[in-house]
Every structure is written in C-alpha cells, then in structure tokens.
Structure 1
Amino acid sequence: MATERPRQAAPSGWLLFQLGVVLLPSSALLGSLLLFPALLIGSLRRERNGWSDPWTLPLILAAVLMVSGCLRAYSGPLAWAGLANWLPFFWGFWGFQPYVSDADGRRRTALWLVVGTVPVLVTGLGQIWWGWQGPWQLFNGLIIWFVTPGGEPSGRLSGLFDYANIAGAWLALVWPFALAALVQPGLKPERRALAILLATAQVAALLLTDSRNAWGALVLAVPIVLGAQSWFWLLPLLLLALFPLLLAVLPGVPSAFQQPARALVPEAIWSRLTDSRHAAERALASTRLSQWGVALQLIGERPWLGWGAAAFSVLYPLRTGKWHGHAHNLPLELALSHGLSVAMLLIGFVLALLITSLRRGLRTLFDRAWWASVLILVVLHGTDMPFFDSRLNIAGWILLAGLRMMLRPDPVPAADGPPGSTG
C-alpha cells in the first residue's frame, strides 16, 4: 500500500490514508481513526498554508459566517453541534490534498474505495437474497452493524448503512470508479474478471436500493467515464435502451404506446419512477414540494444568518404538523440553517471546482471518473441530504480535494491500472 505514493504525501500519512479509505464504507469510526492522523500528517510541512490558497478562502469566510449565525440561532445548542458537519471537513479539504495531489494518487484512492465497498455489497445482497440480519459486533460492541433482513425499509438494499437511500448514495459515488476499473486498458485476464464481478455486483446492488437517485447516477456516470470519444455510439445506444422506460413513465403518453412499454419494463422500476405505489396515501406535508416550500418561507424570514443547524426539524412540525429532519435539498438547507451568503459561498465553491476542472481537461480515465463522482454527489444533494452520513461526508470532501489538485500541473500522468500494478 505504501509504494508509489504521491510526491507530496508523507509515507506514514499515505499508508494511514489508504487504510482509512478502505475501512471507511464499513465503519465511520474505524475509517476516521486512520484518516484523522493522516489528516494531521497531511497538514504539516506543506509548501504553502491554507490561507494562501484562493480555493480555501470561500470556506474560511463561510466558517466565520456560520459561527456568527450560531450566536443568535433559533435552534440554540443544536446550531453549534451542527457545525461538526462542516468545519472539520473544511480542514479536511486542505489536509487531504497531498494524498490526491497527482493522477496516480487519485487513481489508487478511487480503487481503494471500490475495494472498501465490497463489504457493503456482500451484506446488502445477503440481506436481500438470503435474509442475513444483525446486529454484528466488533471490539466488544464498540462497532455494531444493524443489518436488517430484507433491507431498510423492507425490500430495499441498505447493507451496512441505516437506510436504502444512503446506501444508494454511497454506491452511486463509487460506481464511476468501479466502471473505470472495468474498462481500464491493459488488465490481465484474472483482474479483468474480478473487475467484471465487482461492477456487476455494484449494478445489482444499486438497482436493489430502489433509489431513483441511484438509478439516475448509474446512467449519468457512463458517458462521462467513457469519455467524449465514445459518445457517437454510446449516446444513441443509451437513448435506445431508455426509450421504453421513458414511454412507460412519462405522463401524457398514449395508452397504445405506454401499456406495451410497461409490459417490457419491470413494474418495480416504472412504478417506482412514477411513485404510483405511494402517491395515493402520501399527505402533502410529506412531499418534497411541501418541504421545499416551507424552507423557502423560512429563508425569506431570516435570509442573512439563518435559523441555525437543525432548525428545519424544529420548525417544520410547527408549520405543517409533520416531522422531517431536513429540507431534502442542500442549497435550501444551507440557506435556511446558515443564511443565503453561506449557501452561495459553498454551492458556488463546489460548482466552480467542477467547471474549472472540466475546462482544464480531465486527462485520465480515473480523473473522468473522479469528476463524475463529484457531479453525482452534487445531483444527489438536489433532492436528498446523504452528507449527514459521516462516511459520505468524508468521502465527498476527499473528492473535492482531488478536484482542487487537478487544477495544478501533473507532469507524470498515471497509468490506468490497479493498485500496485502497471497493468
């Protein structure tokens, strides 16, 4: 693991970082126990400090505004506790950069994420197909996996995560890397077979989460990872494959076309996409539209410094009589909790990283997969809030650190091969 480390990474930090990335999907605690010292090591003896990097300035300003908002937050102590979802990760954005500072470091990190996701795949498929159930414990109960037979909620794969949508978000994040591992050139036959097995399990698990966001990510990643040179044949093929699905789910399609399409597409897919299984019994206050509408009202009432972290979970029941923990949209949640200025700073920061790195050019297969993974996380946060799971939050900021380092010259492009191998 310690060989072929990025030039900016210390050997001990690089080893801890790789081990932490591998263990992160299985346990936030185990992953953090390794990633935290790696973060400390990565913050020492840097060529330049974080204050001099223009990409950290939006994070520093956002942190100041967040702390200021806590002084008069409606949610009281919850507002201060909510800073733990942000301020340590601003530091992580800077401190993790040495480990993803070149293309080879990002490739190896991506592949370790794929390897680390194997326990999620095994437990998820086991709970759905064979009824596996926890709790399973390590270290005398310090780590407990509550694996629910049949998934959580029932019938939906959740694996080592608390809920199927969170498992779907993690699998969607890792899917571009599994795809890149599958199509990388020069693999030996046995490694190609392993990559096929992992990619197949990844697709099966993604579908079984029954998460519409994860299904969309499954398709979105393919043209990005394979690159523009494949689009002349790939995009028509994708459109042809998706055409029956579109006929099955779009409103206003004549019955003469929609019924044959629904006979062709599995009912579990088209009924989930149209939400026909649950729409009838769902109250308006339980829908995303209601949550977003109330969030906009609350933002309008306190637009500058917000109501404080977790205020939505307190205020939404008062306005609607229904409880929801968050607004199911990251920009709205940020603006409601910390004010419009913080929301614009952080959302603008992420979008600027995506756009600038794309304009500079994605030079390798795994850099395309890296960029696709960040884009998928951005899209997921438009209708959900998976970053409240610490594993996704940590992985997301590692990915953003990698995007930042793509903007620096990398004189030695990496080979697209597995860890410790040139293919």
Structure 2
Amino acid sequence: MIRTRPYRWALLTLPVFLLAMGLFDLGWFLRTGAFAEIEHINGWSKIFLCALLLGYALRHFTPVAPRAFAAFNIAWVAAYAVAYAVSVDKSDGPLPLIHVFVAGHVLFFTAFLVTRDPVTETRDLSLFIAALGLFALPATLLAWPLIEAPVDGLANRLPGLSWIRPFGDLMTATLAAAIGLAAMAGPSPRRRILALAAVTLLAAALCWSGGRGGLAAIIGTLALGATLSRDLRRALPPITAALVLGALLSLPLPAESAGLQIFGRIAQDAESMAQGADISSARLEIWRRGIDLILEKPIFGHGFFQAGWILDWPNDVRHRHLHNAPLELALAVGIPLALALLALAGWAWIRGAAIARRHPDTLPAFLVLTAMYALSLVSGNYIHMEGLIPWAVAGGILMGRALPADPNAARGDASKPHTPRGSDAQDQRQ
C-alpha cells in the first residue's frame, strides 16, 4: 500500500475551496448584482485560505529551496512594489497584487512538494487539473439560466463564478491535461474511455465558449506534443475523433448569440472578410497601442492592471488587457524584467520538453504548459488568478521532477528519474 504524505492534503482542499467560493460568489451576485463587490470579497477570502496553505507549504519547502529561486522571489516582490508605486489608479489598493502572488505561489509550492515525493506520480496533479475543468462545466451550465445580463462573450456572462473566468482559458488548460491523460491510459480500456470522454466534454465546452485562440492553442499543442511523445502519437486517432465529436456536440448547446459559439464566430469572421473587413484589426490596434505605451515607460512599466485605464477602456471588458501576455507583462513591469521572466518561462518549457521525453508521466503537465504558452500570445494574461491555476501547477510539477530528491545531490543527476527508497520502495512493490 502506498503511503500518503501529510502535505498532499493541502492539494485536496483546493477543489472544495473553489466549489465553496463559486457558490458564494453566485449567491452574492444574485442578491446584489454588484460585480465589483464580488471581486473584493472573493479576493480577500482566497487570500486568507492561501496564506494558511502557503505557510504550511513553506515549512516543508524551505530546506530544499534553491537559492536562485529564493532570489527570484525577492526580485518578484520588489517588482510588485515598484509596479504598485507607479500605477495610475490605486483605488483597489494592493489587493489584486497580493491575491495573485499568494495564490500563485501556494499552487506552485503544493505541486512542487507533491512531485518531489518519489511515490507520487504527476498523473495525480493532471487529474486534479482535469477535474477542476470538468467541475466548471456543469457549474456553468447550471448558472446559465440564472444570470440575465447580456454580455458579449461567455466568460463575461458568469461574474458570479468569477474563479473560473476566463472560461475558455480554463477549458484550454484542462483539455490539454485530458489529452495527456488519454495518451497515458495505456492498455486499460476503462481508463482510455474515461479520458476520451473527458476530452469530448471539454472540447465541447471550449467550442461553446467561442475560444478561437484556445482551439488554435490545442491544435498546435497536439501537433507539437505528437512530435515529442510516442504515446501521444499512438493515441492520436482516438483523441482526434474525441475532439471532433466534442466540437459537433457544441452545436446544439444554448447560446444567446452566434458570438458565444465558436462556429458562429468563425462564420462572422468569414462574412467580414467577404465584405473586405480586417477581422484582426481590433486586436492589432490594441497591440500597437500597447507597444506605444511600453515605449513610454520601458524600464519600470506602468504597473499591473493598468492597460484598460491607460487606454481609456475601463468599461469595455474586451479591452481590459492587451490580449497578449508578453506585451501585458512588459507594460506592467518594464522591458528588462519582462524579458527576464519570459526567458525563465522559455527555459521551463525547454526543460519540460526534455523531462517529458524521459518521464512519460509528466506529459499531461507539459501539454498544459504548452497550451497556455500558445494561448498567451493571442488571449492570455499572466496576472489573472485563473491563468495561474494551470501555470503554477504545471510549473511545480516540472520543477519537482527536475530537481534531485536529495538536495545535496550533484547537479548532473537532476534529470534522473526518482527511485523510491527504504520503506517507500517496499510500499510501492506491494
């Protein structure tokens, strides 16, 4: 029997917490209709729980924390302080910055600790990511008739369930995890059927959300992952069939306008192109204006959450950020720090690809990381809580597998697979 490490219970509290916060947010919205108040209450509640988990995680993490990672965190805190000091609007106080920083690190540390346990497989974390998305789907379907405010875009129709916004981004991450799990199902028919069913449901949800960027990210991730993983290449035909079936199932789902469903959006774009309009002009204009703003303060940036205010778009939900995570990051913290962070992200991806080749159980986490990287170029935002869920979990998985189980081990042994020792090995053989 495999023993369960005590700190793994911290991970199990997250789905329960997210469920409770989602129901609380929905009830508050239905009673008051106050979207702004939800963000404050939701944020402070998450901070309280995340602070408890962070303290517990740090207690176990500190003895093996690399000095470079500690220095990176110190620099990150300093960047937050500078960004807040130069921010244009401080009406919300430091709440959004604290919220993102604490919540993201809790998820990262939890994933790191779990994956450092030689007995624990990264498949457990991938199942957690997929389960989070599968819960979001029925919750969204149940909430749909209760929310009356018509807004362009499914993600913005659900402010009550603010922890799953943006909906399409979460579906992209969880669909990537489900694809990886389907590839790892092996000869077990039951596991393969369950994984493919998850792929079908999540593909339907993603298409229903109208997430064209998410769909493109999934297609690119699937193609790239197939070049790296033999298991994924073998499972490519049934996975492709499940994706197509999910897309077809999304057609009859209720949508208030064609803009809420991916095929309707594609049809609208085709009609615009036939009339000679540039369907990308709006987003390209946002990027051009964002680059101009970055060049105004290239060293320190304008601060987080400022794009909409600086560009006079605070009331337009589609333009509250630049729809490009690297540009958003440069706008927030300046070009030098943004380049450093992007270089770290690139190193994590390259390292993750190498690890995924040697350790097949890390494939789902690597696919999540790849999908979110691709999505961030056309839609994503590094500083959203929702985006941090898959980023932090996948990052923690990859770093936990990359570092040696023994903190005093030689650097050259970091890439070797973990081997159970002592009673752990006996438990695993049983």
TM-score (norm 2): 0.69
Residue of structure 2 in register with 1:142 after alignment: none
Is it true that 1:411 corresponds to 2:406 in the alignment? no
* TM superposition shift of 1:330: 1.6
Contact (CA 8 Å) 2:127, 2:177: kept in 1 or not? Answer: yes
Is it true that 1:315 corresponds to 2:331 in the alignment? no
Structure 1 range deviating more: 60-69 or 370-379: 60-69
Match of 1:41 among 52, 56, 68: 56
CA distance in 1, matches of 2:271, 2:376: 24
Could you say what the CA RMSD is over the residues aligned between the two structures, in angstroms?
4.5
Structure 1 residues 304 and 98 mapped into 2: Cα distance closer, same or farther (>3 Å)?
same
Runs of at least 5 residues in structure 2 that lack an aligned partner in the other structure: 23-41, 244-260, 405-416, 421-427
In structure 1, give the amino acid aligned to 2:358: R
| 1:14-413 alignment runs, 5 A limit | 14-21=8-15, 24=18, 27=21, 36-46=51-61, 48=63, 50=65, 52-77=66-91, 80-84=94-98, 86-89=100-103, 91-92=105-106, 95-96=109-110, 97-102=112-117, 104-124=120-140, 132-134=144-146, 146=147, 153=153, 166-185=166-185, 188-223=188-223, 227-229=228-230, 269=263, 272=266, 275-276=269-270, 287-317=282-312, 324-387=319-382, 389-409=384-404, 410-412=417-419
In structure 2, give the amino acid aligned to 1:118: L
Secondary structure of 1:289's counterpart equals: helix
Residue of structure 2 in register with 1:257 after alignment: none
Secondary structure of 2:172's counterpart equals: helix
Residue of structure 2 in register with 1:259 after alignment: none
In structure 2, give the amino acid aligned to 1:275: D
* TM superposition shift of 1:333: 1.4
Structure 1 range deviating more: 17-26 or 403-412: 17-26
The percent identity for this pair of structures is 17
CA distance in 1, matches of 2:157, 2:342: 30
Contact (CA 8 Å) 2:61, 2:109: kept in 1 or not? Answer: no
* TM superposition shift of 1:162: 5.7
Structure 1 residues 360 and 322 mapped into 2: Cα distance closer, same or farther (>3 Å)?
closer
CA distance in 1, matches of 2:382, 2:20: 16
Structure 1 range deviating more: 389-398 or 88-97: 88-97
Listed one character per residue, the Cα deviations across residues 244-290 of structure 1 (whole Å, up to 9, x for unaligned) are xxxxxxxxxxxxxxxxxxxxxxx964961882356779999981111
Contact (CA 8 Å) 1:124, 1:205: kept in 2 or not? Answer: no
Runs of at least 5 residues in structure 1 that lack an aligned partner in the other structure: 135-145, 243-266, 414-420
CA distance in 2, matches of 1:374, 1:367: 11
